[in-house]
Structure 1
Amino acid sequence: MLVEYGSVFMILAVVLGLYMSWGIGANDVANAMGTSVGSGAISVKQAIIIAAIFEFSGAFLAGGHVTKTIRKSIIDPTPIMDQPEILVWGMLSALLAAALWLTFASWLGWPVSTTHSIIGAIVGFAVVGIGVDAVNWSKIGIIVLSWIVSPLVGGTLAYILMRSIQKFILDSDTPFLNAKRYAPVYVFLVGFLLSLVTLFKGLKHLDITFSVGQSFFAAVIFGVIVAVIVRFLINRLKMKEAESIHDQFTQIERIFGIMMIFTACAMAFAHGSNDVANGIGPMAAIVSIVESGGEMAQESNLPLWILLTGGVGIVLGLSTLGYRVMQTIGSKITELVPTRGFSAELAAAATVVIASRTGIPVSTTQIAVGAVMGVGLARGIGALDLRVVGGIFMSWVITLPVGALLSIFFFFFFRGVFL
């Protein structure tokens, strides 16, 4: 069968892989960029350029290149080792199911999780195609737990960061001077985290690995460099002392607007390293099975052209439908200005770094939503639109089952067509 339909499977894998990447761009990346756009720090066009460069760099440099095709040990394909076509149909079904759900959610402006869409879809086909026992249910339990833990961690960090900005800058007697004084410290954290996630995961494509000590040292140096650049940019902002307090706050937001360009890059990079492979993993699995004539390796190398396909799909998704999710994250949950957006984005990037180090399959989406909520809470519960928050939580809960049901339907469809 693989010999007979090999080229058809390859074409389907590329088309559906591209569609899935488009969904990641429209939903996941839009949500990673939403805080920067919503707070007015960057335009949608600039967000697309940043995403194109940094999402791809994150996936290429730090994306854990030997993508585990049998997604994150969620299923055990041993029972179907002599029937590789079942896994091919299953991965095609998973891609189509997850991509359709992402399209629907993006259209409604729901920031759902790509990671969980694809996991739900893979579980769905595994239950009917291989058997209930083929699913690693304890792993699914950990993922469900991460739905609660990751937004909480992101939200708590964002709340602490926002309160610190309020205390040291906004509520001080000399807010503008304090903003100039402390801004490099905050942006040092951005540079430090961005380089740490890269070094922790290892530059596998370049065959460079660092020890924990070396990683920290290099990250500190990179953080200092970024802080010096920001210091230089801020010093070019002219400010007369006599200006009113309102003008001072406007200038402070300008300073944080400059810093948010750096956090947007950090967030796109962290997202690229964490989530892009989730979307294109099944595509890599199909390509690997077809090219090897039916061999099911637990790991398969991720060819550069597959990463490029993912990168192209992501940019297309962000530029065509990404604005809807950007609106939800950037303005509907709570009103964002650069100081708040900066806190949310830095907290989200930090949480992704911590999670990628522990290997828990978290969702960047849920972390970002949690972080935006944390920033809103720093101004009091009234600053949050609880109706929007409720809708988002509901969309998270139904993502796994919807992905699973759609995948089951498509699995039987593909089996019917090719058998």
Structure 2
Amino acid sequence: MPILEEYTYVFAIGTFFALLEAYNNGANDVANAWATSVSSRSVTYRQAMLLCLIFEMTGALAVGARTASTIKNGIIPISAFENNAGVQLLAFTCASAGAATWVMWCTRHNAHVSSTYSLVSSIAGVGVATVGAKGVQWGWNKGQGLGAIFSGLAMAPLIAGGFGAAIFMLIKLVVHLRTNPVPWAVWTSPFFFLIAGTICTLSIVYKGSPKLGLNNKPGWYIASVSLGTGFGLFLLAALFFVPYVHGKVVKKDYTLKLYHVFLGPLLFKRPAPADAEFAKVPDYAVIHHAGEDEDDSSSDKSVTKVHSDDELAEKNAIKGDAITPTPVPVHNGAKTLAEEENAVPVNAQAVYQAQLRRALERHHADLRKTRGPIGWAMRTLHNNPPGAGSVYERHNMKALLRRLPAYPVVACFYGLYYDIHKSQVGVMGTPEGRRMDRVYAHATKYPNEVEYLYSFVQIITACTASFAHGANDVGNAVGVWAAMYAAWSTSTATAAKAEVPLWQIAVTALTICIGFITYGYNIMKVMGNKITYHSPSRGSSMEMGAAITILIFSQYKLPVSTSMCITGATVGVGLCNGTPKAVNWQRVGLLFFSWVMTIPIAGLIGGITMGLFLNAPHF
């Protein structure tokens, strides 16, 4: 079939917005999925990036195409386009534009929304603008209509919360509540390898990738392969992982290196150092949102200390000088001088904003000390600030020319060096800080040796969650992109069963990973430890509960929000502390509000865009 040449520019624009939507998906949903691991300090941000790249790509290429047909054809029936390829191409271009615009704005302002529901809502709005409300599949539509998709708004968090709570309660009863929990944690750890291996294999084999010829296998084959892989990992963990963590946690052998894991059972005979009893494991019972304001700890020593406008604003606000005080009249000595000073109003909002900006400046000061491209770029921006006057002033134009080469470098590398723990320093004493102190007070802190062991387990569960995300969410962006490509390349409205090219799945998955690496810190810095207290044992339960839920929905071709699943699992695990006060319900309420508001806003953006272009005057 001939290419729809007159719509090539539309396809180019649609491709840009489809990939931008995938980029936002990585910056939003993937960042949320890895926030528990990074905030629990089980992995560093850079380690999370590498693991994300591997498992997102694997999940997308193995089972990712299954949800594409639902996004592509389950909401707007193919007959609605009346075989007009141009209209179909324009429709999915506007849908991608609406979803990408909304999610990008929310991510930039640290607002956590669902990229899945943004795209679904935008497609629904486009459908209304194209064929009217009656032409949109509002009902169940054999599990592919909006009714089936939006049912996940309530079902997915509840199911994920149930799975997460069940897994954590199992850990709590078997390990945490024991008199000596460390040995119990060591010997039961292979069980989590069994779960992770079985779930990942099941997602590939059971209704899995047609490319591998696994989608039509009998039930006994599916069960034997899935359980066989799971028990294989269980055996490997028992032979190699258990002796390694036994030496690290029980014997406290701090001389063990990661490559010693291949010694297996021989590590049981390895003698511990004489001073092993003094060895310490990382402290996981820390408050990540708090911190001291150390003015000189991260400032450039080569630069003379000059108070910034933010610092002066903060100090003036604290003194009561941020706003002009109204003179307090003296009534015959009725008020003392101290009483008059205390009566001066304080601009609390100015204090709060200055506090956050100073914390960010300390982080930037650390980046300026680093070597490599990011250090050079941050120093360039710092040493060439814009001066007074408009942008067209000569000195401002010179500064802009010097700063221009640094901007793309910062855009590419800033996320690689971002420290979400430092980004939360500086909010001590704020309303949010005090609220989280109350939430953390209701969470039991377990021994660091046990949490250290589960930090290894959490890596497995995080990788499983990333695999599940790649299997599910890659279908969102690739579904509409595949529809655009089919309409453009064949000049006909794409068929309901059109195959999604593997190269499009790969490109979309890679774009999702790039979004997480370069922009995910915006969501991760506000989602880590903002709902309940996190630790490796809790985080592994949250991630596994979310992963199981996502894979279940994916196998039945139901796009579901990764954000909703991990949030539901987080709340479920938080409630296992025994009191509702261990959950920050204000944050949960804000999240739910943002999910609900996404539906009309994304739908309106997509629908209005489609209506304008579809009905624009032409000749």
> Which one of the candidate residues 404, 411, 414 is aligned to 2:603?
404
Aligned to 2:11: 10
Aligned to 1:152: 158
Aligned to 2:241: 233
Q: Structure 1 residues 15 and 141, CA, compared in 2 at 3 Å: closer, same or farther?
A: same
Aligned to 1:338: 536
Gaps of 5+ in 2: 140-144, 253-275, 282-445
Aligned to 1:213: 220
Aligned to 2:136: 135
Is this contact kept in 2: 1:114–1:279, CA < 8 A?
no
> Which one of the candidate residues 542, 547, 554 is aligned to 1:349?
547
Q: Secondary structure at the residue paired with 1:153?
A: helix
Distance 1:265 1:240 in 2: 28
Q: How high is the sequence identity, in percent, across the aligned residues? A: 29
Distance 1:70 1:373 in 2: 28
Aligned to 2:121: 120
Distance 1:140 1:149 in 2: 14
Q: Structure 1 residues 370 and 65, CA, compared in 2 at 3 Å: closer, same or farther?
A: closer
Is this contact kept in 1: 2:3–2:489, CA < 8 A?
no
* Aligned pairs (5 A) from 1:164-175: 164-175=170-181
Distance 1:356 1:154 in 2: 14
Structure 1 letter corresponding to 2:49: I
Q: Structure 1 residues 50 and 66, CA, compared in 2 at 3 Å: closer, same or farther?
A: same
Distance 1:162 1:65 in 2: 30
- Paired residues, what number? 418
* Aligned pairs (5 A) from 1:22-41: 22-41=23-42
Structure 2 letter corresponding to 1:202: G
> Which one of the candidate residues 180, 187, 190 is aligned to 1:184?
190
Structure 1 letter corresponding to 2:29: D
Q: Structure 1 residues 108 and 230, CA, compared in 2 at 3 Å: closer, same or farther?
A: farther
Is this contact kept in 1: 2:70–2:558, CA < 8 A?
no
Structure 2 letter corresponding to 1:153: I
Which segment is superposed worse, 182-191 or 231-240?
231-240
Aligned to 1:78: 79
Q: Compute the displacement of 1:4 (Å).
A: 4.4
CA shift digits 1:40-60 (9 cap, x unpaired): 111111111112111111111
Q: Structure 1 residues 66 and 174, CA, compared in 2 at 3 Å: closer, same or farther?
A: closer
CA shift digits 1:125-172 (9 cap, x unpaired): 110111211111113233332211110111111112112211110110
Is this contact kept in 1: 2:56–2:513, CA < 8 A?
no
Q: Compute the displacement of 1:124 (Å).
A: 0.2
Q: Secondary structure at the residue paired with 1:201?
A: coil
Structure 1 letter corresponding to 2:525: Q
Structure 2 letter corresponding to 1:132: A
Distance 2:170 2:70 in 1: 42
Distance 1:151 1:37 in 2: 22
Distance 2:5 2:196 in 1: 51
> Which one of the candidate residues 585, 592, 596 is aligned to 1:393?
592
Q: Secondary structure at the residue paired with 1:67?
A: helix
Aligned to 1:195: 201
Distance 2:187 2:218 in 1: 33
Q: Structure 1 residues 91 and 159, CA, compared in 2 at 3 Å: closer, same or farther?
A: same
> Which one of the candidate residues 473, 482, 500 is aligned to 1:302?
500
Q: Compute the displacement of 1:366 (Å).
A: 0.7
CA shift digits 1:380-407 (9 cap, x unpaired): 2222111111110001101111111000
The reply on whether 1:162 has 2:168 as its aligned counterpart is: yes
Structure 1 letter corresponding to 2:604: L
TM-score, length-scaled by structure 1: 0.93
Distance 2:581 2:609 in 1: 44
Q: Compute the displacement of 1:71 (Å).
A: 2.5
Instruction: Report the structure, 1 or 2, having the larger helix content.
Output: 1
Is this contact kept in 2: 1:2–1:294, CA < 8 A?
no
Is this contact kept in 2: 1:234–1:255, CA < 8 A?
no
Q: Structure 1 residues 412 and 389, CA, compared in 2 at 3 Å: closer, same or farther?
A: same
Is this contact kept in 1: 2:78–2:495, CA < 8 A?
no
TM-score, length-scaled by structure 2: 0.64
Is this contact kept in 2: 1:329–1:369, CA < 8 A?
no
Q: Compute the displacement of 1:363 (Å).
A: 1.9
Gaps of 5+ in 1: none
Tell me how large the CA RMSD over aligned residues is.
Answer: 2.3
Q: Compute the displacement of 1:14 (Å).
A: 2.2
Q: Compute the displacement of 1:413 (Å).
A: 4.0
Structure 2 letter corresponding to 1:196: L
